[in-house]
Amino acid sequence: MSKIFKYKGRLTLLSIVVITLFCTLPIKAQPGWQDFTQRYSYTILDKNGKAISFKGNKDYSIMVDSELYRSPNVPQDSLKPATQNSFAFENQIRINDFSLVISINSNYETQKQLEIKIIHKKDTMYIYQSSGTGSFWIKDFQGKPTEPSPDFTFRFIGGHYFFPSWTKNLLDNIPQTKGNVKIKNIDQRHFIIPKKVYDSVFYFSRKYDMEQKHKEEAENLVVKNFMKGYFSLERGIQPTTFDRSVQPFNKPRWSSWGNSYFSTKDKNEYLGIVDFSYDTLNWSGGRGMIVRFDRKKNQMKIWSPTEKLMYSSTALLYKDTFNDVYYNRSIIRDSNCKELIYKCDFVNKFYRSTDEGKMWKEDKKLTQLYQKQEFRKLEFLDKNHALIFKLDKIRPENKKYDIQQGTYYLLKDFRIIDSLKTPKDLHYNDNYNRYQYSIKNDTILLGSWTYDPHYTIGKTKYFQPILTKVGNQWKFQVIEKTYSRIQPKTDLSVINFRNFKILNNLLFLNNENGSLDFSTDLSELHKKELIFERGNQIYLIGLGIGTLLSFDGGSTWYVYPLPLEKDSRYDLLEINEQGVITHLKNSWRKNGYEFNKVFSQFLEWENN
């Protein structure tokens, strides 16, 4: 088997699949219009790695549906961009020197999709999937039409092909290898599936769920091809339990307001908020509850300000890192209400915990402050100072509509000592003018505002409110600035591991025998704690190409072309000494959201 893989003009030691990124510039049209031209953009190479001329080489032919094209009678249609605002889209095919235009509607007269067969003697490549959406139309930097690059370039290898949605991203972003480092399981043949499975995805299905089922089956076979002979993946799921019944609520999920959870001093325990749903014929709602999650036991212990979960809900959880104190804002049903639950009023109360959420007590000072100000944000500045933010609806002079005005309040021991209001004539809750809180060196940047409808570099004047600390006192200040784009500084710090080191998008082996050059910044992956090393096992999780793994300290790598989770969310990810990767999964299942602890282990095949 040939072990050459050509990618974006670079040669690496792997099987041939040449792919270059095809960019289409959008054709100007009315809002809402899209170019739905189905583009079939392929280059096919012969065994010597040269592009095949279908017009000049009689050994090769192309069949599109039932029409066979042989040398020298090969179509060379002009592939024009779709007409603006037209909905008469086409199938546009370009394979080397073969180009053909077919009306899309003609395919829907049957229950099958357009199919391309590339024939060489007794072998045939079967391809039914378009390589992209949008016309063959690009411009150079001077605005002139230019010859587009192919979406995919493959060597001629017979078989029935299926390309999962991640194929192009994977092949476009395979790391470049140097030295003795190699990625061993990249092979064009992995996209070949059995004819029976190919036929199931080739023919249109009248039922969406059946169509998805067939595509998932085909995708699973492609993934197995990447693994076969190299490694296996064992996966287990353990449902997360609660220490008490949550009836009548169900469908638990992490709260989407603020931080979902915080780590505690116990490395196996986390404090967070879980939202539950409640649906009946008469009422639909939900409740938020404080939970203390024990990762080792895979159990959540619930805290509620009322014994009956129906009578209260926790909305937000805050952590004062300066005093190691947690706060939560909960709503409590009016105890005097005798009506149905959804007709009762609720009151807001703040609770505080000094033992990381085990015990809670009402903080009456914060409760009173909230009842008066109804603030939306709470930030802690130091051991004694905090910041709150609220929005008020006001009517500007000579206007017939209301706007929102923001107010930042500076607190000391939860008492207001200073404030800063945004302008009375400017709405402060849109894309440009709104709340912000970020720390830069010894200055806190708050949400800026401008009167310009758009930000223009070097022209737009805007106002930047800040908080600065002098001695033990914090002061508000507003600075007028001109908008400019600041280039982020390149981080040149090296991150060291036992077998390798990372510098931005480069991974170097410590023995200096080779490296990997990625299209993404690995330091960002490291910050998210998605790089693991256990002995000679290395796992790079959360890459755009899926998961990259090595069993020999980084000399030989394998691609698992999927993320460990489809939504790429990995809560509380860790790896044990046996190489078992665990994380908490909170995703939508058939009957709603649920929590599960997931166990994943990659195992290298013997004699690999």
Answer whether residue 27 shows pLDDT above 50.
Answer: no
In this prediction, residue 606 has a pLDDT band, given cuts at 50, 70 and 90, of confident
The reply to whether 191 and 333 lie within a common domain is no
The pair of structure tokens assigned to 301 is 């212990």
- Which pLDDT value is given to residue 257? 77
Residue 489 lies in a domain: no
In this prediction, residue 188 has a pLDDT band, given cuts at 50, 70 and 90, of very high
Residue in this structure with the two tokens 């609220």, named with its chain if needed: 390
Among 592, 520, 515, which Cα is nearest to 550's?
515
The reply to whether 192 and 263 lie within a common domain is no
DSSP H helices in 135-274: 167-172, 195-202, 208-227
Q: Identify which has the larger pLDDT, 453 or 10.
A: 453
Question: Judging by DSSP bridges, how do beta strands 152-155 and 38-45 pair with one another?
Answer: parallel
Residue 443 lies in a domain: no
- Which pLDDT value is given to residue 79? 81
Structural domain including 62 reads 5-198
Residue 418 lies in a domain: yes
- Which pLDDT value is given to residue 428? 96
The reply to whether 159 and 303 lie within a common domain is no
Torsion (CA) 254, 257, 260, 261 in degrees, nearest 10: -140
The SS3 call for residue 120 is: strand
In this prediction, residue 162 has a pLDDT band, given cuts at 50, 70 and 90, of very high
Average pLDDT, integer, range 195-208 = 84
- Domain final residue, candidates 198, 229, 257: 198
The reply to whether 150 and 266 lie within a common domain is no
Average pLDDT, integer, range 279-296 = 84
The reply to whether 274 and 365 lie within a common domain is yes
Average pLDDT, integer, range 509-528 = 92
- Domain final residue, candidates 383, 414, 438: 438
- Which pLDDT value is given to residue 505? 92
Residue 562 lies in a domain: no
Rounded CA separation 220/198 (Å)? 13
The reply to whether 166 and 294 lie within a common domain is no
pLDDT above 70 coverage of the chain, percent: 88
Taken as a whole, the chain contains a residue count of: 608
Residue 100 lies in a domain: yes
Residue 84 lies in a domain: yes
The reply to whether 190 and 291 lie within a common domain is no
Residue 595 lies in a domain: no
pLDDT above 90 coverage of the chain, percent: 67
Average pLDDT, integer, range 390-410 = 95
Mean pLDDT of the chain: 88
Q: Identify which has the larger pLDDT, 601 or 87.
A: 601
Average pLDDT, integer, range 257-270 = 90
The pair of structure tokens assigned to 188 is 């064009």
Give residue-wise pLDDT tens across range 299-324: 999 999 999 888 899 989 999 999 99
In sequence order, which residues have a C-beta less than 8 Å from that of residue 520 and are 6 or more positions away? 173, 505, 543, 544
In order, the DSSP letters of 403-450 are EEEEEEEEEETTEEEEEEE--TTS--SSSSS---EEEETTEEEE--B-
- Which pLDDT value is given to residue 179? 94
- Which pLDDT value is given to residue 2? 36
Give residue-wise pLDDT tens across range 120-159: 999 999 999 988 887 776 666 666 666 678 899 999 999 9
Q: Identify which has the larger pLDDT, 264 or 88.
A: 264
The reply to whether 390 and 316 lie within a common domain is yes
The reply to whether 20 and 122 lie within a common domain is yes
The reply to whether 173 and 255 lie within a common domain is no
The reply to whether 352 and 296 lie within a common domain is yes
Most confident of 20-24, 382-386, 526-530: 382-386
Rounded CA separation 512/296 (Å)? 39
Considering just the CA atoms, what is the radius of gyration of the chain in Å? 30
In sequence order, which residues have a C-beta less than 8 Å from that of residue 411 and are 6 or more positions away? 369, 385, 386, 387, 388, 417
162 and 220 Cβ atoms separated by less than 8 Å: no
- Domain final residue, candidates 438, 455, 489: 438
CA distances in angstroms from 511 to 61, 247, 514, 553, listed in the order given: 50, 58, 8, 10
Q: Structural domain tally of the chain?
A: 2
Q: Side chain identity at 462, as an amino acid letter?
A: Y
- Which pLDDT value is given to residue 465? 98
Residue 392 lies in a domain: yes
- Which pLDDT value is given to residue 24? 37
The reply to whether 178 and 260 lie within a common domain is no
